[in-house]
């Protein structure tokens, strides 16, 4: 099965992730973590459904899964598809080493323990903590991948 | 609680998401969707654990949750924290309107139905389908957010 099987041979695959998602049952607790500790700026909020954050490229969307799994929101006569997970998700932020050190200090001041820190064989360093919903949040220097 | 409560006042919040994550139990089926239909290029693969894709900014990581929830992988003497969700996650790719139309054709050729398509009041258009794991995948023109 080649890519050419599916329509236009000039097709260009998507290059950019516009929305990355985490699920947090307690959005107020999540907001305290992502805004006060991580330092993100809230772009949009529905207290019982979501908190959204604009990043340099795209958005970080926090949803309360019990809302997005059950409530069908209609926009211009069409429904936003339902979604929602349980369990610990994962997301990594890119940071340089100075910002990683500042984040380490910031997490310590907020009483949030590092769960692990890894020096990758390929280069790059990651530190890991949990958000209030139990998602595994990583702050990694991009040398990990590039 | 102000941001200044937590350490260095020169602190710069993270701007870039380095890793966005979806969970797919059947990674082979997921690979057929993300590679053959969506057109992403596989960067790294462990057939029973993950398939990774490099985007223009950051990575899309597909994990088999039953592996990442239970297997503690050690790197340089430290453990990668466990994670893994069940249920339908969500992710959006940014596309321009021409690429969205090409994707629409491509999904149709692959026999994948659109679940919804929305013209946002703020501008921007989204089409939605499901990946083989049931995640809600959106292809949105970035005017939705910018």
DSSP, res A99: H
User: What does the pLDDT read at residue A1?
Assistant: 44
**Following CA atoms B2, B5, B8, B12 in sequence, which dihedral angle do they give, to the nearest 10 degrees?**
-30
List CB contacts (< 8 A) between A69 and chain B. Answer: 87-88
List, in sequence order, every residue forming a beta bridge with B20; answer none if it has no partner. Answer: B60
For B21-47, give one letter per residue: b (16+ CB within 10 A) or e. Answer: bbbbeebeebbebbbbbbbbeeeeeee
Structure-token pair, residue A131: 């958000």
Integer Cα distance of B123 and B146 in angstroms: 9
What's the whole-number mean pLDDT along residues A47-65? 97
- The residue among B92, B93, B20 whose CA lies nearest residue B61 is B20
Structure-token pair, residue B14: 């993270």
- Is the separation of the CB atoms in A59 and A20 below 8 Å? yes
Helix (H) or strand (E) holding B31: helix B27-31
List CB contacts (< 8 A) between B102 and chain A. Answer: 7-8, 10-12
Beta-strand relationship, B90-94 and B136-140 = parallel
User: What does the pLDDT read at residue B122?
Assistant: 87
Predicted-complex ipTM score: 0.94
Beta-strand relationship, A125-130 and A136-140 = antiparallel
Distance of CA B43 to the CA centre of its chain: 14
DSSP, res A40: P
* pLDDT > 70 fraction of chain A, expressed in percent and rounded: 94
Chain B nearest-CA residue for A2: B36
Integer Cα distance of A5 and A41 in angstroms: 43
The reply to whether the predicted model has a pTM over 0.90 is yes
Q: Is the pLDDT of residue A120 over 90?
A: yes
Q: Cβ–Cβ of B76/A121 closer than 8 Å?
A: yes
Q: Which of A17, A78, A86 sits opposite B91 (nearest CB)?
A: A17
Confidence of residue A88 (pLDDT cuts 50, 70, 90): very high
Residue B3's alpha-carbon distances to A33, A41, A44, in angstroms, are 10, 11, 19
Each residue of B30-45: pLDDT tens digit? 999 999 999 999 999 9
Q: Which stretches of chain B drop beneath a pLDDT of 70?
A: 1-7
Each residue of A93-119: pLDDT tens digit? 999 999 999 999 999 999 999 999 999
User: What does the pLDDT read at residue B1?
Assistant: 45
List CB contacts (< 8 A) between A142 and chain B. Answer: 16, 18
User: What does the pLDDT read at residue A82?
Assistant: 97
- The residue among A128, A134, A82 whose CA lies nearest residue B84 is A134
List CB contacts (< 8 A) between A138 and chain B. Answer: 18-19
Structure-token pair, residue A7: 């329509």
CA distance A31 to chain B (A): 12
User: What does the pLDDT read at residue B55?
Assistant: 96
Spell out the domain ranges in chain B.
Answer: 16-72+89-144
Sign of CA dihedral A39, A43, A45, A51: negative
Interface probe, candidates B11, B18, B124, chain A, greatest A C-beta count within 10 A: B18
Q: Is the pLDDT of residue A3 over 90?
A: no
The phi, psi pair for B38, rounded to 5°, reads: -70, -30
The phi, psi pair for B103, rounded to 5°, reads: -70, -40
Distance of CA B81 to the CA centre of its chain: 19
Q: Is the pLDDT of residue A145 over 90?
A: no
State whether CATH 3.10.180.10 applies to domain A16-72+88-144.
yes
Residue B146's alpha-carbon distances to A58, A106, A130, in angstroms, are 9, 30, 30
Q: Is the pLDDT of residue A7 over 50?
A: yes
State whether CATH 3.10.180.10 applies to domain B16-72+89-144.
yes
Integer Cα distance of A38 and A59 in angstroms: 15
Integer Cα distance of B65 and B3 in angstroms: 34
């Amino acid at each position: 099965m080649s890519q050419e099987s599916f329509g236009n041979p000039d097709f260009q695959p998507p290059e950019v992730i516009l929305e990355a998602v985490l699920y947090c049952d307690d959005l107020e607790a999540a907001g305290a973590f992502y805004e006060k500790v991580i330092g993100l700026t809230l772009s949009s909020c529905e207290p019982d459904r979501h908190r959204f954050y604009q990043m340099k490229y795209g958005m970080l969307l926090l949803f309360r899964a019990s809302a997005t799994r059950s409530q069908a929101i209609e926009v211009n006569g069409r429904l936003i598809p339902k979604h929602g997970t349980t369990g610990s998700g994962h997301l990594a932020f890119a940071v340089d080493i100075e910002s990683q050190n500042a984040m380490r200090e910031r997490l310590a001041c907020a009483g949030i323990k590092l769960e692990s820190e890894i020096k990758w064989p390929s280069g790059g360093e990651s530190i890991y903590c949990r958000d209030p919903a139990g998602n595994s949040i990583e702050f990694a220097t991009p040398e990990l991948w590039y």
